[in-house]
Amino acid sequence: MRKNIVAGNWKMNNTLQEGIVLARELQKTLEEKTLKCEVVICVPFIHLASVVAEVKTVIVGAENLADKSSGAYTGEVSAAMIASTGAKYVIVGHSERRTYYGETNAVLKEKVLLALANGLIPIFCVGEVLAEREANKQKDVVSTQISESLFDLPTEDFRKIVLAYEPVWAIGTGKTATSEQAQEIHAFIRKTIAERYGSAVADSISILYGGSCNAGNAGELFAKPDVDGGLIGGASLSVDKFLPIVEAF
């Protein structure tokens, strides 16, 4: 059975001190609960080691990684460095990385390989922009993103990946995809995976929804058969907003 996962993405928010306080509060709150999903928080690089030291119930991830393994790449952070902090996950291909930093499917393929080689689980993000949705191109867009970055992986590596469908028009906009729109694309992604790796692998992959997911809509989204959890931006920045999403399962 595939895992249900709720993963926070802090983005470029919180000083180190604020991040430690938030992680500590989340740990304290969640350790008293019986959880029906894995809870992950993806945090800025500078928070990783300190946040790992604060949490047990929550698993820590990074938000990005370098597309090179080491060397003269000033300002970059490698997969090995991330793994050395105790982080277990890494977001790869978030739409903000694709849009603002020009990350292509080819670059993201390298990042996925480096993450896997260093024992990190990629949360690989796909999703269409508004113009592509309006042109009814969303399925073409996500299948190209997935196939160009992931479909050269051998089965034993592909099955370690977590996917996140994040329609770009829904990220940080307050405009959530309907649960029917999310289910339609999640089912399409699973079918696309089944055609390449077979249905047993497709059925084992967790596919998260991301895009203005909140306490009010998480329950309906997570109830859909192919929605295995969420990637949560804004609502992961406070325990009050994040907890009801975690408890939506």
Question: CA-based Rg of the chain, rounded to a whole angstrom?
Answer: 17
- Site membership for ligand PEP, residue 212 (CB under 6 A): yes
- Site membership for ligand PEP, residue 234 (CB under 6 A): yes
Q: Minimum CB separation from ligand PEP for residue 213, in Å? A: 6
- Site membership for ligand PEP, residue 122 (CB under 6 A): no
Residue 6, SS3 per DSSP? strand
Q: Minimum CB separation from ligand PEP for residue 200, in Å? A: 28
Residue 111, judged by CB atoms within 10 A of its CB (0-12, 13-18, 19+), counts as buried
- Answer for which of 6, 171, 243, 246 binds ligand PEP (CB under 6 A) is 171
Whichever of 150 and 171 has its CB closer to ligand PEP, that residue is 171
Whichever of 157 and 219 has its CB closer to ligand PEP, that residue is 219
- Site membership for ligand PEP, residue 128 (CB under 6 A): no
140: CB partners within 8 A, 6+ apart: none
**Closest residue to ligand PEP, Cβ-based?**
233
Structural contact between residues 91 and 64, judged by C-beta atoms closer than 8 angstroms: yes
Eight-class DSSP state of 101: S
For 181, what's the count of Cα atoms within 13 Å in the CB-facing half-sphere?
17
- Site membership for ligand PEP, residue 14 (CB under 6 A): no
Whichever of 61 and 211 has its CB closer to ligand PEP, that residue is 211
- Answer for which of 38, 210, 221, 245 binds ligand PEP (CB under 6 A) is 210
Tell me how far apart the alpha carbons of residues 136 and 47 are, in angstroms, rounded to a whole number: 39
Question: Distances in Å between the alpha carbon of 195 and those of 143, 147, 184?
Answer: 11, 11, 17
Active-site annotation holder among 63, 94, 103, 128: 94
Overall size of the chain counted in residues: 249
- Site membership for ligand PEP, residue 44 (CB under 6 A): no
Torsion of CA 138, 199, 247, 119, to 10 degrees: -90
Q: What are phi and psi of 166, to 5 degrees?
A: -130, 95
- Site membership for ligand PEP, residue 233 (CB under 6 A): yes
Segment near ligand PEP (CB under 6 A), from 23-31, 189-197, 199-207, 230-238?
Answer: 230-238
Tell me how far apart the alpha carbons of residues 165 and 142 are, in angstroms, rounded to a whole number: 8
Segment near ligand PEP (CB under 6 A), from 16-24, 52-60, 105-113, 228-236?
Answer: 228-236
- Token readout for 197 is 């790796």
Catalytic: 166? yes
Segment near ligand PEP (CB under 6 A), from 15-23, 116-124, 199-207, 210-218?
Answer: 210-218
Binding interface with ligand PEP (CB under 6 A): 9, 11, 166, 171-172, 210-213, 231-235
